[in-house]
Amino acid sequence: MRASKPIAGWLACALLVAAAGCRHPRISQADLPEALVAIHYRTPEEARLHAEDREAAAQAEARRGRGSREVSSNAGVAHTDDLGAYLGGMFGAAPGVGGSQSGRLALLDPRTGDVAVVGEALRGSIPLAWSADRQRLLFAQSGGADVQLWELRRGSDTVRPVTRGPLAHTQGCYGPDGRIAVVEVDVRAKPRRSWIAVSAEGGGGPLTPISPGPSDHSPTCTRHGGTVAYVREAERGREQIWLAQLSSAAEPRMLTSGSQPRLSPGGDWIVFVAPVQGTRRLWRMRPDGTARAPIGRGVREESNPAISPDGRFVAYVAAETEFRRQLYLRRFDGSGERILFADGDGDFPVW
């Protein structure tokens, strides 16, 4: 029996899943949420100079016989000798360090591509998390001696410190009841140690450790239920994703190998990065570690995922060339693909 045109079209789509164009039309800008994406931004000229310097450094390392391995965006602290090396591994550059190539904290409009630099934040600041009402943005910056967490308040465009020393505080996220989960780094220990700690309700009071360390980092929180996922550096630099509770005595538990976790707004998914045949790809799983699956079929090195507030899209960092940091986008189900931002470098997206 001859297929009708609609059925024939459906069969053609089923046979061409890789193309995915007929079942999943291209993502248009009008499809995107209006919510701003916080990024670490370099202008086109800064991005060019930064890429040239990184390439020259990699070539120098190769000449010395050390190779030119790309450093993980969220490397831990257990095997570093100083805070600068730790921050270089975690962020690609220490937050708050000046220089013409160090990026700026900025807000990206995903529909227009417009970028607004946050002038109140120091050069090199790294965005970390939005509050539930999206009126506060948590970010890391350095005053020179160490790194602490700061908060941008929308509307007034003012910034205020959230944490203080003597410990360094390098990453964090907003939990329920005003709690904030943070990474604490003991810069005096040898080797350096880091663990996850949580504030009291409302964000104040002493910070209480909820993970033992010695190399825990990259927390991501749910705004309901008090769950926090984070990364632990295991032996030989292996990265594992663990789950803990902000207000529970239950022991943290390991979910899977991977890095750079990001909990969905509803807390029902974790998007993360895991190695596949020598490169990194986007994955997702349930908070209990089940339903683990890749998100799309990428052809580039993928890192630093960020989930849109409506849960429909995943922004991530990739580039056509090795030493650039540009933003791409695909649907949460893995379909569709578009460049979100390539006018300069956009890194560490927080949506």
Instruction: Report the alpha-carbon distance of residue 226 to residue 292 in Å, rounded.
Output: 22
Cα angle 250, 256, 200 (rounded to 5 degrees) comes to 35
Tens of pLDDT along the chain (351 residues)? 333 333 333 333 333 334 444 455 789 989 999 999 999 999 999 999 989 988 888 888 888 875 544 434 433 333 233 455 555 555 555 565 545 568 999 999 999 999 999 999 999 999 999 999 999 999 999 876 789 999 999 988 899 999 998 999 999 999 999 999 999 999 888 888 999 999 999 898 899 999 999 999 999 999 777 899 999 998 877 999 999 998 877 899 999 999 999 999 999 999 999 998 889 999 999 999 999 999 998 888 999 999 999 999 999 999 888 889 999 999 999 999 999 999 999 999 999
pLDDT at residue 79, rounded to an integer: 29
**Share in percent of the chain as helix, strand, coil (round to 5):** 15, 40, 45
One DSSP character per residue, 185-226 reads EETTSSS-EEEEEE--GGG-S--EE-S--SBEEEEEE-SSS-
Q: Which residue type occupies 255? A: L
Return the domain boundaries, the chain. 27-350
As a three-state string, the secondary structure of 30-85 is HHCCCCCEEEEEECHHHHHHHHHHHHHHHHHHHHCCCCCCCCCCCCCCCCCCCHHH
pLDDT at residue 115, rounded to an integer: 98
Q: Give the three-class secondary structure for 126.
A: strand
pLDDT at residue 282, rounded to an integer: 97
Nearest in space to 92 (alpha carbons), one of 40, 48, 134? 40
pLDDT at residue 21, rounded to an integer: 41
| Cβ pair 254, 233 in contact under 8 A | no
Q: Give the three-class secondary structure for 90.
A: helix
For the whole model, what pTM was predicted?
0.85
Instruction: Report the alpha-carbon distance of residue 140 to residue 346 in Å, rounded.
Output: 16
As given in the structure block, the two tokens for residue 247 are: 């207000």
Nearest in space to 230 (alpha carbons), one of 188, 175, 279? 175
Give the DSSP letter of residue 164: -
Tokens 């632990």 sit on residue: 232
Tokens 């270089």 sit on residue: 88
Q: Check: CATH 2.100.10.30 for 27-350?
A: no
Cross-strand partners of 279: 276
